[in-house]
Structures are given as C-alpha cells and as structure tokens.
Amino acid sequence: MVALLAAEKDALLTRVIPYLDEIRPLCYEMDEDLALVLAVIQTESGFRPSVVSTRGAVGLMQVTPDTARWMAGQIGLDGYTDDKLYEKQWNLTIGISYMQYLRRLFDGNLPQALAAYNAGPTRVRAWLEDGDWDGSVELIDDIPYGETRNYVKKVLKSYDRYRRLQV
C-alpha cells in the first residue's frame, strides 16, 4: 500500500513539475538537492527551457554563455558550444555545476550562494567584505540589490515548498 501511494505521488509530481523525469536523475547523478534545483529553475525561468533574459542568460537555469563556457572548462565538459545552453541536459548540467561551485565558494552558505547565482560572486564578496550584508538568512533584507534580495527570498520560499513536497 505504501509503495502504491508513493508511486501515485511520484506520478502526480511528474505531471505537475515540468521536466522532473529529466531533472531528478541528473540531480541524483550529480549529488545535488532536487528541491533546491527545482526552486532555482522555477525562479529563474519558470520551467521554460527556451527563455532568454535581457542579460543573455539562457534556458531552465538561466546561465549566461560566458559563465557556461567557464563552467564547462572547469568540469571538463567536452563539446560545449553556446547553442548547447538551449538543450535541457546541457543547461541543467552546467547550471547545477555552477550552483555547486558557488556553494563551495561560499562555504555552504546557501543565501550567499543564491545571491551569487543572481548577482555574481564578486558582488557578493564585496557586500560581505564591506559589511553591507552579513550573508545570513535573517538579514536578507540588507542585500543591497533589490533584484537579488527578492531573488534569494523567492528561491528560499520555493525551496521550502519543494522540500515539504518531498520531491
């Protein structure tokens, strides 16, 4: 009975969350938190793989070509071209890898890593060094950029929802 309920829940989630069948195995393979990746995708692109931002960020995880080229080199992803960012698998692999890089860079501090995903690691380091923001969840309202402040809040709120769904 429990297995049947779990299978029904999984089938429902797959129908409700776009591309879950592609995102879940990649998160498992890359040892990344599925709920976090879903929250980032929801906030970044609304699960639209062909969306391009005004700043040139592409795809589900809204990665810029410059960041993608750099990240592809860091993880040894052969055959990368900017056109590949429109392909879900490439976009997810690079976006997830970049999120993992930022989490390591900011010693596992999720709000800082999310802020860096949005505003760039150089800006976040400057905010921390200048005392503009202490990097904590409690003081997210101190993030100097309104767009980044709202971004971090949205991702964390979505992350909490996805975790409660136990995706």
Active-site annotation holder among 29, 44, 138, 147: 44
- Residue 119 carries which side chain, given as an amino acid letter? A
Cα 12 from Cα 34, distance rounded (Å): 16
Is residue 44 part of the annotated active site? The answer reads yes
% of the chain beyond a pLDDT of 90: 89
- Our count of domains for the chain comes to 1
Band (16; pLDDT cuts 50, 70, 90): confident
DSSP-assigned beta bridge partners for residue 58: 52, 63
Q: What are the tokens at 151?
A: 């971004």
What's the pLDDT score for residue 166?
A: 87
Average pLDDT, the chain: 94
Enclosing domain of residue 130: 2-165
DSSP-assigned beta bridge partners for residue 52: 58
Q: Over 66-85, what HEC string results?
A: HHHHHHHHHHCCCCCCHHHH
Q: Report the CATH number at residue 114.
A: 1.10.530.10
Single pTM value for the model: 0.92
Question: What percent helix, strand, coil does the chain show, rounded to 5?
Answer: 70, 0, 30
Burial label, 40 (beta-carbon count in 10 A; 0-12, 13-18, 19+): buried
